Amino acid sequence: MREPIQWIKNEMPREVAAGMLALFSDDQRAKIRNFHRSFPQYNETPLVHLKNLSEQLGIGGLYVKDESFRFGLNSFKVLGGTYAVGRYVAQRLGKDISQISYDTFLAPETKEAVGEITFYTVTDGNHGRGVAWAANKLGQKSVIRMPHGSSEARVANIRAEGADVQVMDLNYDDAIRVVARMAESDPNGVLVQDTDWVGYEQIPSWIVQGYSTVAAEAHEQLQSLGIWKPTHIFLQAGVGAFAGSIQGYFASIYGEDCPTTTVVEASAANCHYRSALAGRRIPVGGDLSTIMAGLACGEACGISWDILKNNAKFFTSVSDWVTAYGMRMLGAPCKGDTRIISGESGAVTAGLVAALMTDDANKDFREALNLNESSIVLVVSTEGDTDPVRYKDIVWNGYCPS
Taking only the tens of pLDDT, the chain with its 402 residues reads 689 999 999 999 887 556 789 999 999 999 999 999 999 999 999 999 999 999 999 999 999 999 999 999 999 999 999 999 999 999 999 999 999 999 988 899 998 999 999 999 999 889 999 999 999 988 999 999 999 989 899 999 999 999 999 999 999 999 999 999 999 999 999 999 999 999 999 999 999 999 999 999 999 999 999 999 999 999 999 999 999 999 999 999 999 899 999 999 999 999 999 999 999 999 999 888 999 999 999 999 999 999 999 999 999 999 999 999 999 999 999 999 999 999 999 999 999 999 999 999 999 999 999 999 999 999 999 999 999 999 999 999 999 987
Helix (H/G/I), strand (E/B), else coil: 41 = coil
Give 17: exposed, middle or buried? Use CB within 10 Å, 0-12, 13-18, 19+.
Answer: exposed
State whether 344 and 235 are in the same domain.
yes
- The Cα 111–Cα 136 span in angstroms is 12
Nearest residue to 275 via CA among 234, 232, 247, 237: 237
State whether 296 and 158 are in the same domain.
no
Q: Which listed residue (31, 65, 66, 124) is catalytic?
A: 124
Given this model, what pLDDT does residue 287 score? 86
pTM for the whole structure = 0.96
Please confirm, yes or no, whether 124 is among the known catalytic residues.
yes
Give 70: exposed, middle or buried? Use CB within 10 Å, 0-12, 13-18, 19+.
Answer: buried
Structurally, the chain folds into a number of domains equal to: 2
In a domain, 1, yes or no: no
CB atoms within 10 A of CB 204: 24
State whether 348 and 232 are in the same domain.
yes
State whether 21 and 137 are in the same domain.
no
State whether 53 and 138 are in the same domain.
no
- Expressed as residue numbers, the domain containing 22 is 6-76+204-395
- The Cα 243–Cα 312 span in angstroms is 9
Nearest residue to 309 via CA among 22, 80, 18, 25: 18
State whether 48 and 137 are in the same domain.
no
Q: Which listed residue (77, 173, 196, 306) is catalytic?
A: 77
- The Cα 180–Cα 163 span in angstroms is 17
Please confirm, yes or no, whether 77 is among the known catalytic residues.
yes
Nearest residue to 138 via CA among 66, 182, 175, 84: 84
Tell me if 255 sits within 8 A of 310, measured CB to CB. no
State whether 231 and 367 are in the same domain.
yes
